[in-house]
Structures are given as structure tokens and as C-alpha cells.
Amino acid sequence: MSKSLPLPLTIYSTELVLQLLTLSVFFPMYNERDNITVTLERALDVLPSLGFADFEILVIDDGSKDDSAQVVRQAAQHEPRIRLVSHPRNLGYGAALRTGFTSARGDVVFYTDSDLPIDLGEVARALPLLEEADLVIGYRRRRYDTPRRALYSKVYNQLMRLLFGVRVRDVNFSFKLVRRRVLDAIRLSASTVFIDGQLLAEAVRGGFRIAEMPIEYTPRRVGASSFDSLHAAWVTLVEMLRYRFSPASLATEQMLPLPHGDESAAVQLALPELEAEEELEPEELLTAVPPRRVEPPRIPKALS
């Protein structure tokens, strides 16, 4: 009897794999009228060159009081890949990120802040790391923090290590690239900036692989951050401790369903369409459970 020979390994390059996938990029926004136009222009310059089958750009307006949302609406009229999703009022940074992750329809999801603290070209450098990782997160080479914020960050990162086993350099930096399978497997409930920590804690608990890369950080040039305050640090700490010791207390608070019906529905990605949801009043948005996700296509693992 002849001995069968093993089949040769199939080698997938990063470029080939990306041609089978779609990308969602989203920006949480609150009163960013002076920043969002430049951010959208930069995204439209960079994203087509990344090699994905298709992409979408989402802006999550967290109840802005300036005319930020109108700026995005006007941009969406000229570019159908831009989609605006609006909260009925300011619900907080965590809620904005949850809405972004829930609304995104791509196989790979990336987010950063709408004041664009990073060069979006860095996403191209992060993509090869997805061959071996489920999440790619950035850490700042230089932070430019005030002494108070530097202290907050140091304590926060240490608590993430002690409480959740999240051993990364820069938990809250807004450079995160996430595979769809991670988002399908975890549940996010935070409403403060602890949302970044919860994302990583859930990923660690689920056994997902996290890769880190250094990023050149650009401090905010226009507007002011709302995170550099004792109040912001306190509510974040409280939410972190509640998640660690009483996670059920966060499970039903401000859980947002998939937003829809507000803005551009013209984005057409190479994905199955999400089922239509019943329209909800703003008060119902705070207690509804997120909808079932569409099962993503299986991603072939790249071999080196």
C-alpha cells in the first residue's frame, strides 16, 4: 500500500487575507466641530489604500451641543461610506464606544478619538500583527501628560494588572484594532472611560491574544479633554470596582441597541444586512439589550 504524501501548506499573505475582509473605523464625537472635518478627510485618504474589500467610517455623536453632527451629515452626502449615529443626549464615552462597536459591520473594527491623536497611517503597520493576534492596541511613545493625569494613568494601569490580569503598557490609549470574533464573544457595559479597560479585561478572560505596538501620539490641538479631572477619575474607579466585584450591577445600565434610522443608511459593505429593529424611543435606548450579531465569515489564518 502506497504511503500518502502530506498536502502542501497554503500560505496566505496579509494582503490576500485583507482582500477577503471588510473594515469598520469609528470615531466617538462630542463637540468636535473644529476637528471632525480634518479627521474624516484623513480617513478617506488612508483607508482605501489598506487593502480591504470594503470599508465604512462611523461617527458616533454623543449628544454634541455644537454643529458637529451637521458637519458629518454634510460629509456623508458626498461620501456614502460615512455614517453618522447619534445618541439622543450625552450618555458618556463608554456608551459612545459601545454604540460604535455594536454599529460596526466590518470583519475588523478600529477606533480612535475624533480629534485624531494618532496618524491613521499607523493602521497599516498594525495589520500584519492580526496574523497572530485578535486585538492590536497602541501605546504612546511619549505621553505629554500633566502630572495629575500621569498619576491617574499609572494607578489605573496598575489596578488593571492587579484586578484583571491586563498586562499592557497603555490601557486607555485610543488606538485599538479588533477582530469581529472578539466583539461577538464579549459583553461591554461600561459608561465611563473604563470601557477600554473592560474591553481588554473581557478579551483576557476570553483567552484572546493581544499585541501591542508603539505609536507617536499627537496631543489635542483644538478643544479641551473632559477626562483630566478628579471627578472623571473617581467615576472611572467606581465603575472599575463595580465591574470587578459586582459585574451584574453594570449589566443592565444604559445598554444600547444597534442605533439606526437617524442618519445615512447608504453604506453598502460586503456583509449580510442586519435585520431591521423596531424603532425605540430615547428612554428605551437606556435599557434595551443589544441585538444578535450576524455571524462573520471564517478568517483563514496566515502562516509564515
| Domain presence at residue 70 | yes
Please give the residue that has the higher pLDDT: either 249 or 167: 167
> Would you call 245 exposed, middle or buried from its count of C-beta atoms within 10 A (0-12, 13-18, 19+)?
exposed
pLDDT band of residue 284 (cuts 50, 70, 90) is: very low
- Measured between alpha carbons, how far is residue 207 from residues 108, 204, 243 in Å? 18, 5, 18
**Which amino acid, residue 87?**
H
pLDDT exceeding 90 applies to what percent of the chain? 63
Query: Pick from 96, 90, 110, 99: which is nearest to 18 by CA?
Result: 110
Please give the residue that has the higher pLDDT: either 150 or 111: 111
Q: Is the pLDDT of residue 288 over 70?
A: no
Q: Which three cell numbers stand for residue 53?
A: 474589500
| Domain presence at residue 290 | no
Say what the pTM is: 0.78
Mean predicted lDDT score pLDDT of the chain: 80
pLDDT at 248: 79
What pLDDT digit, counting tens, does each position of 21-73 carry?
Answer: 999 999 999 999 999 999 999 999 999 999 999 999 999 999 999 999 999 99
Give the angle 72-290-181 at the CA atoms, nearest 5°: 85
CATH number where 104 lies: 3.90.550.10
pLDDT band of residue 10 (cuts 50, 70, 90) is: very low
| Domain presence at residue 194 | yes
Taking every pair of C-alpha atoms in the chain, what is the biggest distance, in angstroms? 78
pLDDT at 276: 32
What pLDDT digit, counting tens, does each position of 193-247 carry?
Answer: 999 999 999 999 999 999 999 999 887 665 555 556 788 889 999 999 999 998 8
Mean pLDDT of 7-33: 74
Mean pLDDT of 289-303: 38
| Domain presence at residue 39 | yes
Q: Which three cell numbers stand for residue 198?
A: 473592560
pLDDT band of residue 256 (cuts 50, 70, 90) is: very low
Neighbouring CB atoms inside 10 A of 294's CB total 14
Cell 442605533 belongs to 259
pLDDT at 250: 75
Query: Pick from 78, 76, 63, 80: which is nearest to 29 by CA?
Result: 63
Pairing of strands 108-111, 22-29: parallel
pLDDT at 8: 41
Please give the residue that has the higher pLDDT: either 280 or 138: 138
Query: Pick from 33, 106, 118, 15: which is nearest to 75 by CA?
Result: 33
Say how many domains are in the chain.
1
- Residues 170/175/176/177 CA torsion (nearest 10 deg): -140
| Domain presence at residue 270 | no
Q: Which three cell numbers stand for residue 228?
A: 483630566
Q: Give the DSSP H/E element, type plus range, for residue 95.
A: helix 93-103
* Domain containing residue 178: 14-254
| Domain presence at residue 66 | yes
Q: Which three cell numbers stand for residue 88?
A: 439622543
Q: Is the pLDDT of residue 139 over 70?
A: yes
Pairing of strands 176-179, 22-29: unpaired
Query: Pick from 59, 94, 79, 115: which is nearest to 267 by CA?
Result: 79
pLDDT band of residue 148 (cuts 50, 70, 90) is: confident
pLDDT band of residue 94 (cuts 50, 70, 90) is: very high
| Domain presence at residue 105 | yes
- CA-CA distance, 33 to 67, in Å (whole number)? 6
Mean pLDDT of 244-272: 53
| Domain presence at residue 79 | yes
